Structure 1
Amino acid sequence: MGRRAARWRVHEGAARPGPWRRGRVLAALSALTALLLLVPGLVPNTPGRLGSLLESFLPWLGLAVVPLLTLAVLRRSALALVAVVLPVAAWAYAFGGLLLPAADPGPRDLVVVQHNVSDVNDDPAGTARALAARGADLIALEELVPEALPAYETGLAARYPFHEVRGTVGIWSRHPLTGTRAVDIKPESIEGPWSRGLRAVARTPHGEVAVYVAHLPSFRLGAGGLGTARRDESARLLGRALDAETTGPVIVLGDFNATVDDRGIAPLTSRLNVPKRGFAFSFPASFPLARIDQVMAREATVGRVRTLPATGSDHLPVTARVTLD
């Protein structure tokens, strides 16, 4: 009986996989996570715009490392532990640069602020004071409703003598503005009045700069997936307007209802420089998960983007230093 038990134990030990053979599924999941971090475009956008959904929260995919590492330790799998290095390296490659310090200010810099002030903001005067205190060269605002507009005009007037509003978007500037006009980014399926884009030329000490302010349509997550068709159409229309722009450099500010990784706004990110420093998650203000408030530029470099303290809006303001080429 003793010899049989010994033979059984030997047999059992021989059948148990070693640390380099255990955890193959965990290792495969780590490799898949790394692949998605580097090439999210592998996830198709149909059905339900799954690709855009992944790209909207892509930096957070790195948190998958925590359960992968925990399970690898519990499984005592050397293979899975080594494989966890893959998504860590992929995240560092894709987003590590955003953590680097900003470049030193230059002589051809403009400081800009972008803020969706919310159409239900119960303290527009306080929001205006907070934004004015930042001392930016340009302030772009969205969701300007008629009843709140006077509060912004009054609160910003002392430091920003030049401003233009078209529909529900506006630009406030320390420098003269010329050539202001509405930009038609209205999706075909929207009926009735809808004006969410403007263009102006700021006459800065460094020369003329074309400034665009835009508020792309919001999306909804429902049973059919991510509803971004209107937003994507609006992005295409804005991209065409930028193609026709002859003044340079160009600064584009706005609530795009999309992150810079989202393929839905590729008509903009393919034409414009995006920030290379800073995450600046701006929405929702109570627990920011994504930066959908954007600062982009052409013939200019967008420096570190960062959020400002909360106002009465459900978005956080974002600010960046733009260096003109």
Structure 2
Amino acid sequence: MTGAEQGQRMLRPDTSETGRAGAETRRAAIRRALRVAVRPGPWRRGPVLAALAALLGLFMLLHAKIPNRVGNVGGLVETFLPWFGLLVPALLAGALWRRSASAVAALLVPIVVWLHLFGGLLSDKSRPGGDLTVASHNVGAANPDPARTARDLVASGADVLALEELTERARVMYEKELARAYAYHTVLGTVGLWSRFPLSDVRPVDVQTDYGPLAATRPAEARMSYARALRATVATKHGPLAVYVAHLGSARVNPRAGFWTVHRDRNADALGKAIAAERNERVVLLGDLNGTMDDRAFAGLTSRMRSTQDAAGDGFGFTWPARFPVARIDQILVRGVEPVNSRVLPATGSDHLPIAAGINW
């Protein structure tokens, strides 16, 4: 082979290698084009997330339709209903990760429903003043310092103060510490009422508390010691005010019974009937009701009375447990008077937070 032929061979491209590389490039381009063609667009991505978002909205909107027949599930959902809004950020994060426009759009359903149910609680509706300040506190049977709790409650400036879960030993301490601020008081069983104004027509309210199978055979004095609700008339400067103090039965969650509220629901029904029969047009209910006002079990009360927190509060006003409140189970409900403010007071030695509200005639 001559030198010229060798030079021409060196300059001639290797057609076989070039052909293979070109074919591979073309195949890669075709594969990319096919992937783009079959890849779902942003409105077709995340159908599961979109469905979950829509179901969450319907779940919150139709919470009253959730049956209670098995484990009282409906009541449990309603007790913690506001917290279901936390699922919205989780679903939003998934929608953004999947770049799903349909899921983001579907999230408008639970957002609108949540705002419809609870948006009114996000604004501060409280106003200063009030003709009368009322307060309520489950002081806790295990409270290590009743005297300090009493002094803290006096500092709240309440004109009428209701206490629940009083023990015989702690009762003496509360009576001593509250005597200077409140000239009038009454205690029936485990609930008590202290007032700067005279009290009259004090009587227990039969909320059908579970005294046991032989309750009807017990003498009145013995049944009185088990009283968990009372009614009194407070002679305010503006006129008589009927005040109810109640501590309803407990609610429990356990694997066998689910959300167990048998006694509480029975108590709530009886209390609702008692208030419905109340002749005084101005009524205040103070107490630990062991449930939120979203729970259908309290329909007999909420259909006749207003929650001061809903009407004149700032936020949800959660009261239990005191270390990390997740539910408002302590309530101030009114009828015939106008709530102007509602607030949660600083923690005491109890596992509940105290609450107070200002009301106008």
TM-score range, shorter chain: over 0.9
SS at match of 1:63: helix
- C-alpha distance in 1 between matches for 2:210 and 2:87: 40
Aligned counterpart, 1:246: 279
Match of 2:196 among 163, 174, 181: 174
Aligned counterpart, 1:199: 231
Moved more, 299-308 or 228-237: 299-308
Aligned counterpart, 2:35: 12
- C-alpha distance in 2 between matches for 1:235 and 1:304: 25
SS at match of 2:306: coil
Does the aligned pair in 2 maintain the 1:124–1:151 contact within 8 Å? Answer: yes
Aligned counterpart, 1:162: 184
Aligned counterpart, 1:294: 331
Query: Is structure 2 residue 110 aligned with structure 1 residue 78?
Result: no
Match of 2:60 among 37, 40, 58: 37
Unmatched tracts of structure 1, length 5 or more? none
SS at match of 1:81: helix
Aligned counterpart, 1:257: 290
Query: Is structure 2 residue 248 aligned with structure 1 residue 216?
Result: yes
Q: For the aligned residues, what is the CA RMSD?
A: 1.7
Does the aligned pair in 1 maintain the 2:187–2:193 contact within 8 Å? Answer: yes
Query: Is structure 2 residue 128 aligned with structure 1 residue 128?
Result: no
Aligned counterpart, 2:123: 100
Any idea what the Cα deviations from partners look like across 1:228-260, whole Å, max 9, x if unmatched?
111000001111111211112000011000001
Does the aligned pair in 1 maintain the 2:230–2:244 contact within 8 Å? Answer: yes
Aligned counterpart, 2:262: 229
Q: What is the TM-score of this pair, normalised by structure 1?
A: 0.94
Structure 1 runs (4+) deviating above 4 angstroms are none
- C-alpha distance in 2 between matches for 1:42 and 1:80: 25
- C-alpha distance in 2 between matches for 1:270 and 1:243: 10
Query: Is structure 2 residue 80 aligned with structure 1 residue 57?
Result: yes
Aligned counterpart, 2:322: 285
Residue type of the alignment partner of 2:96: V
Match of 2:300 among 242, 255, 267: 267
Any idea what the Cα deviations from partners look like across 1:163-197, whole Å, max 9, x if unmatched?
11111001111111100000011245745542101
Moved more, 293-302 or 249-258: 293-302
Percentage identity across aligned positions?
50
- C-alpha distance in 2 between matches for 1:110 and 1:93: 31
Query: Is structure 2 residue 346 aligned with structure 1 residue 313?
Result: no
- C-alpha distance in 2 between matches for 1:79 and 1:190: 57
Moved more, 147-156 or 40-49: 40-49
- Equivalences, count: 323
Query: Is structure 2 residue 48 aligned with structure 1 residue 48?
Result: no
Q: What is the TM-score of this pair, normalised by structure 2?
A: 0.85
Aligned counterpart, 1:141: 163
Distance 1:14 1:190, change over 3 A: farther
SS at match of 2:325: coil
- C-alpha distance in 2 between matches for 1:14 and 1:110: 71
SS at match of 2:168: coil
- C-alpha distance in 1 between matches for 2:138 and 2:99: 49
Unmatched tracts of structure 2, length 5 or more? 1-22, 216-222
- C-alpha distance in 2 between matches for 1:19 and 1:271: 49
Shift of 1:39: 2.9
The structure with more helix, counted as a fraction of residues: 2
